[in-house]
A and B are shown apart, each in its own frame.
Chain A
């Protein structure tokens, strides 16, 4: 029997795959080997010049990468802890459970850029309400102008915006857990803490790994929050890799160089997220 016609049915999917996934990546690689910029538009060929510049003469890229690592790991850990706590809370039979489930999802449903503008207004050091309230206690943190505090301001906004996503995944996980282990623990007289440590948490491990990895991928692209809140400042203290690539590509119009940074960043992310997934699997699933 001839099954060659099956390939005909694969074509539509294959075209979509090539069009939206393969082609952009190939184009970025080609662009990264060109010197495309504002005064020299076009795909000329300059070999590995951009990559050599990136690895030998651009400490700012690497600084922004390490800053990004700090910001994304910190925000994802906080989102996981808070998201798990909230999910655990509404998993139980509490009053207004449905109301809280919807309420906790609201931040995620808002537009990040708009919300960041509102947060920037809150944190405005002379006109914002946050310092107005804190001034009662004689405190006035420099939310956006101190290089250290500004990082935490970015973290606060990111955690507020994206904890609901973690909450949603973890709540779905909790609702899908089998009842038997919990019944057994109850019969054995396990306290709520022991039940959480020895039953809930291990059972949630596979879902937790998935949720953490998904959020890490998203968090490693922190851009809109930084763009609106601090523009990467003060100095370069909140500049992340994606924001730096944005500046080089779309502000300075060094398209070729920005493409080389994007591709390098992609490779680094694939490697590091694979390692993180392996480590998490080993630690949480004890494989």
Chain B
């Protein structure tokens, strides 16, 4: 009986991938794990469209993050529909201007433009709203409430959801959960080795595990990999560290600004404490770590070089890929918190534990209002994120496609099609889902001229990291710049746009 059962199970295991095989996965190996999944924009449906003789022009990010899936799905779309798709790859920092220059000049050299979701305020007047037929599709109904909100402005969706990003903590589970390491850490520091729940604990552990070979691979490992390169999304990493100290659930009305006065909060003691921690972090990153962009961070943590990392999903997914040396040796947890939080109303510290998720949103994509092939453009986007493509993309860390559909939070997806350890898959989906449920979340700025604000943060914080200014001086400089930007843009314009984000943070939307 036992032999028979083993034979049945073995046969199922051997033939299970074939169970999914269909004519589409034979032709497009990218979806071999699932085959085509029925839906409005499935392979089957797309193959019935005829866009022969039409050209779709797309501006997307550089390869691999988002650039690679864009190009791959463009190629698939061409084969299915007969369309010609031209994909241009642009560095992250230039995505905004590459679309804005022609937008402002009244042109549409690209039908589809990729960018970050916080561009929405500046871009929305140049983008076509997502048509109703896509809004009502089952795929769209599966998108989480917060990501529907992220892609929309005043109830109108301008950005087609293709990605959902949040910052969370990634750690080496084989070290943190290792009883020998726990014993050693306790003996050397007198403290418990566990998943850090505060940034101070994070720093202590990262410092302890910095610069020695703790995984026995013959090479030195380090404490933490972080995005510290100036202008390379570093502002987001800084906000991830700031939320614990500066997002107080008892003081609604603005994390970045006081919504009533529009006075920046960016230089209050909460943010300064976070920047002080970050300056300290320069001591436990790998050599050259203060020049790490997102790609370096993914490579560093995903390659097993560091104990911790805390930005987007990509580093975690990279670590969990089949070719990773640390597959099933990593864990996901909420961002660390702090044992004190700044109260900007009473101007004092509250000595109690605080934790706040930072919903970084992420990649967003829109169709130019002046595009002459809008139908094809929306079909492409719908195809990009169809069930089969989405599940296959989720499994590839370098693609930068992360969960944004309710069905993505089912751990079985990661266990069955990606070979994740069930405990890790459960902790991963729970971490992401808990962020959706939290009442103390922070959303990025979505105000006019957003790049001026984030660029000022990047400049100020990078000066502090380089030792050019103290954390307080650096953030005072940022606050002064923010005040100048508000004054240039117009207080009311910024305030009105910021109010929408504050409503979401204060759970009023």
A234 near B231: Cβ-Cβ < 8 Å: no
With an 8 Å Cβ cutoff, the count of chain B residues facing the other chain is 39
B300 neighbours in A (Cβ, 8 Å): 126
Asked if residues B231 and A231 are in contact (CB atoms below 8 Å), the reply is: yes
Q: Does B24 contact A (CB under 8 A)?
A: no
Q: Are B463 and A254 in contact (CB under 8 A)?
A: no
Q: Using an 8 Å CB-CB cutoff, how does the interface string of B141-184 with A read, 1 for contact, 0 for none?
A: 00000000000000000000000000000000000000000000
Determine if B210 is an interface residue (Cβ-Cβ < 8 Å).
Answer: no
Q: Tell yes or no: B197 within 8 A of A by CB.
A: no
Say yes or no: is B55 at the interface (Cβ < 8 Å to chain A): no
The answer to whether B104 has its CB under 8 Å from any CB of chain A is: yes
Chain A interface, >50% SS class: loop
| B466 interface residue (CB < 8 Å to A) | yes
| B289–A234 touching, CB < 8 Å | no
Please state if A126 and B462 are interface contacts (CB–CB under 8 Å): no
Identify which of A40, A125, A250, A251 contacts B287 (C-beta below 8 A): A125
Query: Does A124 count as interface, using CB distance less than 8 angstroms?
Result: yes
Q: Shortest Cβ distance from B310 into chain A, in angstroms? A: 19
Cβ-based interface call for B412 (8 A): no
Q: Is the CB of A38 within 8 A of B100?
A: yes
Q: Mark A27-60, 1 if CB is under 8 A from B, else 0.
A: 0000000010111110000000000000001001
Give which listed residue, B222, B287, B466, contacts A147 with CB less than 8 A. B466
Mask of A236-276 contacts with B, CB within 8 angstroms, 1/0: 11000000000100111110000000000000000000000
Measured CA separation A147–B488 after assembly (Å): 32
Would you call A131 an interface residue if the criterion is a C-beta within 8 Å of the partner chain's C-beta atoms? Answer: yes
A144–B468 contact, CB under 8 A?
A: no
Q: What is the chain B residue whose CB lies nearest that of A128? A: B288
Query: In the complex the two chains form, is B451's CB within 8 Å of A253's CB?
Result: yes
In the complex, are the beta carbons of B466 and A237 less than 8 A apart?
yes
CB-defined contacts of B466 to chain A, threshold 8 Å = 147, 233-237
Contact partner of A251 (CB less than 8 A), chosen from B222, B291, B451, is B451
Indicate if A74 sits at the interface (CB-CB under 8 A).
no
Collect the chain B residues with CB atoms within 8 Å of residue A40's CB: 489
- A208: Cβ under 8 A from any B Cβ: no
A126 with B231, Cβ < 8 A, contacts A38-B122, A147-B467, A236-B468 known: no
Q: How far is the CB of A201 from chain B (nearest CB, A)?
A: 41
For the complex, give the distance between the alpha carbons of A145 and B290 in Å: 6
Collect the chain B residues with CB atoms within 8 Å of residue A142's CB: 287-288
B82 within 8 A of A: no
Instruction: Say whether B449 contacts A39, CB under 8 Å.
Output: yes
Q: Which 4 A-B pairs have the closest CB atoms?
A: A125-B288, A235-B466, A234-B466, A233-B230
Can you list 12 contacts pairing A with B, beta carbon distance less than 8 Å? A125-B288, A126-B288, A128-B288, A140-B287, A233-B229, A234-B230, A234-B290, A235-B469, A236-B468, A237-B466, A247-B231, A251-B97
Known: A145-B290, A147-B466; 16 extra A-B contacts, CB below 8 A, are: A38-B449, A41-B104, A126-B289, A126-B305, A127-B288, A142-B288, A144-B291, A145-B288, A147-B467, A230-B230, A230-B291, A234-B290, A234-B291, A235-B464, A247-B455, A253-B452
> Which of A's residues lie within 8 Å of B, judged by CB?
35, 37-41, 57, 60, 124-128, 131, 140, 142-145, 147, 230-237, 247, 250-254
Chain B residues within 8 Å of A, Cβ to Cβ: 93-94, 96-97, 100-101, 104, 122, 222, 229-232, 286-291, 300, 305, 448-449, 451-452, 455, 459, 462-469, 484, 488-489, 493
